[in-house]
C-alpha cells in the first residue's frame, strides 16, 4: 500500500500533535454535489451506485478533488448488513429505505444468520480496495457501519419511523428476542468492520443514529453494550499502525462519559452539545469529532467562518485531539460553495490553535 502523505486525521484521533485541525464532513460524497448527481444518473439509482465499486469509488473521490479534506469515507449505506441478511432493501421515492421482510417474530429472527462480508457484501469490500488504490496514500480512508440498535430499528420497523413503536414494543414486550437480534447484528457488524479494515480502511466509525431515542438505562442495555462488544472484537492494528475507532450517538450528549469507557478512540458529537463542555467531561480519555450544526451551511460565508472560529476556540488552545466535522450529515440542498467555505475556514483558522507552547 502507498505511504500515507496526510495522516492529520489519524493523528488527531490518537490525540497526537498536528499542524492544524483535520476536517471531513459526514455525507461529503452526496447529493449537494452536481458531479455526484451526474454519477448517480449513470448508475440509475442509489442502490445500483452503492453496489458498483468503480462508481462508488468515483463519488468517494469527488469531494476530495474540490476541497482540502483530510479523510475520505467509504461511499456506502448503513443498511447493507440487513440487506445482506435477506430482508430485501429497496427505496421508495420520497420515503427513504424500506424492507420487504422485516423482523417481527421469533421465526423471522431464526431465518437470519451472521453475514460473511467477503461473500454477501463483497461489493463493499471491492469498493474499499478500489478506493484505497485510487487514493494512493493521499488521505486515510474511513470505513463505517450502523450500530446494532440503529440497524435493528430499521429491521423491525421495516423502514424509517417517527414513533419507534414496533422496535420499542419488541424491546419492552420481548426483551430476550430483542437481545438475540442485537447479538446477531453485533456479530455481523464486527466481522463487517474487520473485513473493511483488512480491505484497506484505516479508521472505522460506528453510527448510532437512533440511540438518542432511548432512556438512559435502555441506551446502556440495548445500544451501548452492543457497540462496546463490537469495539472489543475489532482489529485495532493493521499495516503497522493503529486503526482508530469513532463512536457517534446522535442526541447522545448526556452519555459521553459512558461512551468514552467503551475503549473507542474518539466520540462524534452532534450540535446539541457545546464542544468545550464535552471536552471538560471526557478529559483526554478520547478525541472529539464535531460538531457544527449542518444547517449553518445555509448561512452567509461570514457566518460560517465565524461559527468555525467559535467551535475551534471552544475546543481550546491545545487543538490536539479534535477532528472538525458537522454534527450530522450535510443536507442535499446546501450549495457546494458554502461547503467550500466550511472546509477552507478550518484550514485557515485552525493552525493558530496548534502552536507548540514554549
Q: Annotated binding site for substrate: which residue ranges?
A: 27-31, 77, 154, 209, 328
Active site residue 77: yes
End-to-end distance of the chain based on CA atoms, in angstroms?
Answer: 37
Asked if residues 144 and 24 have their Cβ atoms less than 8 Å apart, the reply is no
* Residue 36 appears among annotated catalytic residues: no
Out of 31, 122, 129, 303, pick the active-site residue.
31
Catalytic residue among 7, 70, 77, 265: 77
Is 40 known to be catalytic? yes
Catalytic residue, from 40, 192, 221, 270: name it.
40
Contact 84, 121 (CB under 8 A): yes
Which residue's entry shows cell 463505517?
144
**Among 67, 154, 226, 315, which one carries the catalytic annotation?**
154
Other CB atoms closer than 10 Å to residue 119's CB: what's the count? Answer: 9
Binding residues: 27-31, 77, 154, 209, 328
154 is catalytic: yes
Sequential DSSP letters for 74-130: ----TTHHHIIIII-EEEETTTEEEESS---SHHHHHH-----TTTTTHHHHHHHHH
Active site (catalytic) residues: 27, 31, 40, 77, 154
Amino acid at each position: 500500500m502507498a505511504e500515507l502523505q496526510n495522516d492529520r486525521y489519524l493523528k488527531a484521533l490518537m490525540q497526537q500533535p498536528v499542524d492544524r485541525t483535520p476536517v471531513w464532513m459526514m455525507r461529503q460524497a452526496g447529493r449537494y454535489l452536481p458531479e455526484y448527481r451526474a454519477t448517480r444518473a449513470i448508475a440509475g439509482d442509489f442502490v445500483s451506485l452503492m453496489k458498483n465499486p468503480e462508481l462508488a469509488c468515483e463519488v468517494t473521490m469527488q469531494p476530495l478533488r474540490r476541497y482540502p479534506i483530510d479523510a475520505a469515507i467509504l461511499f456506502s449505506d448503513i443498511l447493507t448488513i440487513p440487506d445482506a441478511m435477506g430482508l430485501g432493501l429497496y427505496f421508495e421515492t420520497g420515503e427513504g429505505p424500506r424492507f420487504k421482510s422485516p423482523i417481527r417474530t421469533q421465526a423471522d429472527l431464526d431465518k437470519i444468520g451472521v453475514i460473511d462480508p467477503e461473500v454477501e457484501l463483497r461489493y463493499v469490500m471491492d469498493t474499499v480496495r478500489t478506493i484505497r488504490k485510487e487514493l494512493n496514500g493521499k488521505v486515510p480512508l474511513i470505513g463505517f457501519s450502523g450500530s446494532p440498535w440503529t440497524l435493528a430499528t430499521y429491521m423491525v420497523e421495516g423502514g424509517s419511523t417517527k414513533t419507534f413503536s414496533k422496535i420499542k414494543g419488541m424491546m419492552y414486550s420481548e426483551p430476550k428476542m430483542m437481545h438475540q437480534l442485537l447479538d446477531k447484528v453485533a456479530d455481523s457488524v464486527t466481522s463487517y468492520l474487520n473485513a473493511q479494515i483488512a480491505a484497506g480502511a484505516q479508521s472505522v466509525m460506528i453510527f448510532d443514529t437512533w440511540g438518542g431515542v432511548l432512556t438512559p438505562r435502555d441506551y446502556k442495555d440495548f445500544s451501548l453494550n452492543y457497540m462496546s462488544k463490537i469495539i472489543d472484537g475489532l482489529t485495532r492494528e493493521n499495516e503497522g499502525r493503529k486503526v482508530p475507532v469513532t463512536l457517534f450517538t446522535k442526541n447522545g450528549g448526556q452519555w459521553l462519559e459512558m461512551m468514552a469507557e467503551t475503549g473507542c478512540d474518539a466520540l462524534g458529537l452532534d450540535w446539541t452539545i457545546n464542544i468545550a463542555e464535552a471536552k471538560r467531561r471526557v478529559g483526554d480519555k478520547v478525541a472529539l469529532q464535531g460538531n457544527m450544526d449542518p444547517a449553518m451551511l445555509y448561512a452567509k460565508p461570514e457566518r460560517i467562518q465565524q461559527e468555525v472560529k467559535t467551535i475551534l476556540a471552544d475546543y481550546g488552545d491545545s487543538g490536539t485531539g479534535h477532528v472538525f466535522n458537522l454534527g450530522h450529515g450535510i443536507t442535499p440542498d446546501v450549495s457546494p460553495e458554502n461547503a467550500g467555505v466550511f472546509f477552507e475556514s478550518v484550514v485557515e483558522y485552525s493552525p493558530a490553535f496548534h502552536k507548540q507552547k514554549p
